Amino acid sequence: MAAALKLLLGFDYGTKQIGVAVGQLITGQARELCILKAQNGVPDWQKVEALIREWQPDAIVVGLPLNMDGTPSAMSERAEKFARRLNGRFNLPVHMQDERLTTYEAKGQRLSEGQRGSYRDNPVDALAAALLLESWLASYSENQTHEERQ
Residue 99: domain span? 7-149
Q: In this structure, is residue 33 part of a structural domain?
A: yes
Q: In this structure, is residue 60 part of a structural domain?
A: yes
Considering the entire predicted model, what is its pTM?
0.84
Any residues with CB less than 8 A from the CB of 105 and at least 6 apart, and which?
128, 131
Q: In this structure, is residue 67 part of a structural domain?
A: yes
Q: In this structure, is residue 2 part of a structural domain?
A: no
The domain that contains 66 carries what CATH number? 3.30.420.140
| Number of separate domains in the chain | 1
Segment (H or E) for 17: strand 17-24
Provide DSSP, 89-125.
HH---EEEEE-TTHHHHHHHHHHHTT--S-TTTS--H
pLDDT digits (tens, 9 = 90+) for 24-52: 999 999 999 999 999 999 999 999 999 99
Q: In this structure, is residue 1 part of a structural domain?
A: no
- Which range is least confidently modeled, 15-24, 99-108, 133-142? 99-108
